[in-house]
Amino acid sequence: ADVPLILGIETSCDETGAGLVRDGVLLGDALASSMDEHARFGGVVPEIAARAHLEALPQIVRAAVDRAGVGFGDIDAVAVTAGPGLATAVQVGLAAGKAYALSLGVPLYGVHHLAGHAAVDVLEHGPLPGRCVALIVSGGHTSLLVLDDLVRDPIVHLGDTVDDAAGEAFDKVARLLGLPYPGGPAIDRTARDGDPAAITFPRPLTSARDDPYGFSFSGLKTAVARWVEQHRGAVPVADVAASFQEAVADTLSRKAVAACREHRSATLLMVGGVAANSRVRSLMAQRCAAAGIELRVPSPRLCTDNGAMIAAVGDLLLRAGLPPSTLGLGMRPTVT
Ligand code: KG4
Ligand code: ZN
């Protein structure tokens, strides 16, 4: 075929992902997760994640190729996450990416993981405008970025969390309230029966002039913990869940809209597990509409770590005619 076919590989955290993209279209993908193996340690253990990638990758890549209805010989380039991520986990993907590229005799592209989170939206909603602001909110990330040309210009970090990621805060508050893991969906459900104005929890860093786009969720979690402690025996779980969720939604949407305004972006891209939250979505949509900003959110399946997002970036890089990486590609935070 004249239009190149890209194999994307993602191994930066606990998801092993592979996806095949051709001309902005996702043909097939496959995913495995080592999440369950980390649960008893209370967080992702890099060595366990790396070993799980090593075991899962060959089958995951084959499954993606089969689902796409192509053969290995049809692949024109390999794209692989080069960082940021857990070092040992990224290394497994890099080694595999190099091996596939070398054995297939095709170019290799090192991809920035966060560029992948943004680029995946192209697969569902078409090309991105020249400039957009991206809010990446998951269990591992809380970042506000400005993206111009996704393949040529560097990603500008406006702000990141200084402590917990937003999803982590949902998980920790859920545990505090006796709700099941993962906490986000549980809080979302419970909050439906609660009053979001019942308790005014803090909106951390919303007036921090030196870090206007920074986030801090550990203080908010502590505030909820203190409130629960003080009302022991008579905790209105639904009200606490709704009030906490409101504080998160308010903070995220205020900062994201302010970032779009300051950086003259008519588009906000929101991705990550927390983007599935009903109140985060509705408040973000409401505030974006009021500010004349187009809100783009990929479907939940593509919002979280996967191989398709890496193939999506590889596809953009290749079609833009950018030079591939060499086999000396190491873990690096840049796009090419
Ligand atoms: O992007 P993701 O699936 O995985 C990684 O972080 O790698 O994000 C998972 C996070 C979890 O913390 C989970 O509690 C949160 O996203 N989450 C939600 C919702 N669904 C998932 N948080 C709030 N509301 C939800 N509906
Ligand atoms: Zn990610």
Confidence check: pLDDT of 161 > 90: yes
Cβ-in-10-Å burial (0-12, 13-18, 19+) of 219 comes to middle
Bridge partner residues of 145 (DSSP): 134, 157
Judge whether 131 lies within some domain. Answer: no
Listing DSSP states for 205-263 in one string gives TTT-SSSTT-B--HHHHHHHHHHHHHTTT---HHHHHHHHHHHHHHHHHHHHHHHHHHT
Same domain, 110 and 224: no
Q: Greatest CA span in the chain, whole angstroms?
A: 67
Judge whether 265 lies within some domain. Answer: yes
Same domain, 186 and 286: yes
Confidence check: pLDDT of 335 > 60: no
Judge whether 133 lies within some domain. Answer: no
Quote the pLDDT of residue 151.
85
Tell me: the pLDDT tens digits for 47-88? Answer: 999 999 999 999 999 999 999 999 999 999 999 999 999 999
Instruction: Flag whether 305 is marked binding.
Output: yes
Quote the pLDDT of residue 1.
55
Same domain, 11 and 78: yes
Confidence check: pLDDT of 42 > 50: yes
Buried b (16+ CB within 10 A) or exposed e, 77-104: bbbbbbbebbebbbbbbbebbbebbeeb
Same domain, 169 and 273: yes
Confidence check: pLDDT of 321 > 50: yes
Same domain, 287 and 315: no
Instruction: Flag whether 53 is marked binding.
Output: no
Buried b (16+ CB within 10 A) or exposed e, 241-273: bbbbbbbbbbbbbebbbbbbeebebebbbbbbb
Quote the pLDDT of residue 150.
86
Instruction: Flag whether 207 is marked binding.
Output: no
Confidence check: pLDDT of 257 > 70: yes
Distance (angstroms) between ligand 2 centre and the Cα of 304 equals 6
Instruction: Flag whether 139 is marked binding.
Output: yes
Same domain, 259 and 308: no
Pick the residue whose CA is nearest to atom 18 on ligand 1: 184
Q: State the ligand closest to the CA atom of 35.
A: 1
Q: Which residues line ligand 1 (CB under 6 A)?
A: 13, 138-140, 167-168, 170-171, 182-185, 188, 272-274, 276-277, 304-305
Where residue 196 falls among pLDDT bands split at 50, 70, 90? very high
List the domain range (segments joined by +) for residue 235. Answer: 139-298
Where residue 232 falls among pLDDT bands split at 50, 70, 90? very high
Where residue 336 falls among pLDDT bands split at 50, 70, 90? very low
Judge whether 158 lies within some domain. Answer: yes
Same domain, 270 and 310: no
Question: Stretch 248-273: mean pLDDT, rounded?
Answer: 96
Give the chain's count of helices (H) and strands (E). 11, 10
Quote the pLDDT of residue 40.
81
Q: What is the mean pLDDT of the chain?
A: 94
Q: State the ligand closest to the CA atom of 271.
A: 1
Distance (angstroms) between ligand 1 centre and the Cα of 274 equals 5
Question: Stretch 206-231: mean pLDDT, rounded?
Answer: 92
Same domain, 29 and 105: yes
Three-class secondary structure assignment of 201-220: CCCCCCCCCCCCCCECCHHH
- Using a CB cutoff of 8 Å and minimum separation of 24, what contacts does 48-51 make? 49/13, 49/14, 49/86, 49/88, 49/89, 50/86, 50/88, 50/89, 50/91, 50/92
Judge whether 128 lies within some domain. Answer: no
Judge whether 102 lies within some domain. Answer: yes
Confidence check: pLDDT of 27 > 90: yes
Judge whether 125 lies within some domain. Answer: no
User: Which of the residue ranges 92-96, 139-143, 255-259, 306-310 would you say has the lowest mean pLDDT?
Assistant: 139-143
Tokens of 172: 């920790």
The predicted model scores a pTM of 0.91
Same domain, 184 and 94: no
Whole-angstrom Cα distance, residue 202 to residue 94?
Answer: 42
The bridge status of strand 294-296 relative to strand 267-271 is parallel
Quote the pLDDT of residue 334.
44
Confidence check: pLDDT of 333 > 70: no
Whole-angstrom Cα distance, residue 336 to residue 334?
Answer: 6
Judge whether 171 lies within some domain. Answer: yes
Question: Stretch 168-194: mean pLDDT, rounded?
Answer: 94
Same domain, 294 and 312: no
The bridge status of strand 132-137 relative to strand 108-112 is unpaired
Same domain, 277 and 309: no
Bridge partner residues of 111 (DSSP): 81
How many domains, in total, are found in the chain? Answer: 2
Tokens of 259: 């970032």
Question: Stretch 154-167: mean pLDDT, rounded?
Answer: 93
Same domain, 311 and 245: no
CATH number at 56 reads: 3.30.420.40
